[in-house]
Amino acid sequence: MKHILLLSTAALFASTAAFAAPPDQPGHKSPAPGTNSETMSNVEDATSHAVGTMSAAMTSSLQGFVTAAAISDMYEVEAGKIAEQRSSNPEVKAFAEKMVQAHTETTAKLKSILAGMKNAPAAPAHLDNRRQGLIDNLRGASAADFDARYMSQQVDAHKEALSLMKGYAKDGDNPAVKRFAADTAPKVQDHLNMAEPLYKKLSK
């Protein structure tokens, strides 16, 4: 019985291990710093913002929410780590450090909730194409373009995450995860409130 319980616990953690996996897609090669076209990156980031809308599945089904939340957190943590290394602005660096910490914490909280469930949904192991493109635009940005690009992405990403959390808190199909979404939404709003004025300052 003990052996079966251990196997069951291992299976549950395996289903959510993707949260800790490296975020890049298998075999992906990102651009070197300064090699991206700023004009093209602007277009790509704007397109990403336009398509970053919540589907009914993301805000009502557990699998849809887990997938969206996991990818969002993977993107946030990786983007924050890049900004900690590449930013020349102390305020941006401090914001990025907060994002790495905060989104690592929300990942751990959601993972803990899922670990206590039977048949917990599997989280994705890697970024989707859209977030991979955003990360590439950060990695390939010039030094002069980096800070404004990171903060622009952060405003869009937190607006999207806020819609996700509020939507699932309202329409979600799992009570424990609905509470998680409801508790997380104000924190995402706080992040957005920090990101918007900082981006405006950088884009003047």
For the stretch 87-143, pLDDT in tens is 999 999 999 999 999 999 999 999 999 999 988 898 898 999 999 999 999 999 999
The pLDDT value given to residue 169 = 96
The CATH superfamily label for domain 37-202 reads Ferritin, core subunit, four-helix bundle (1.20.1260.10)
pLDDT on residue 6: 37
Q: Name the DSSP letter for residue 124.
A: P
**3-state SS class at 113:** helix
Which sign does the torsion angle of CA 59, 137, 103, 200 carry? negative
Q: What is the pLDDT of residue 150?
A: 97
What is the structure's pLDDT at 65?
95
pTM (2 d.p.)? 0.78
Short-list 74, 67, 68, 96, CA closest to 23:
74
What's the pLDDT score for residue 115? 93
Distance CA 23, CA 142 (A): 22
- For residue 197, the tally of other CB atoms under 10 A from its CB is 11
CA distance 131 to 139: 12
pLDDT at 30: 66
Q: In the numeric block, which tokens belong to residue 13?
A: 């953690």
CA 180 to chain centre: 16
The H or E element that residue 4 is part of is helix 2-16
pLDDT of residue 59: 83
Q: What is the pLDDT of residue 11?
A: 39
DSSP result, 158-187: HHHHHHHHHHHHHH-S-HHHHHHHHHHHHH
Write down the pLDDT at residue 58.
83
Distance CA(68)–CA(53), nearest Å, equals 11
State the DSSP code for 141. S
Q: What are phi and psi of 112, to 5 degrees?
A: -65, -40
Q: Say what the pLDDT of residue 50 is.
A: 47
CA-based max dimension of the chain: 64
Residue numbers in the chain where pLDDT is lower than 70: 1-22, 24-57
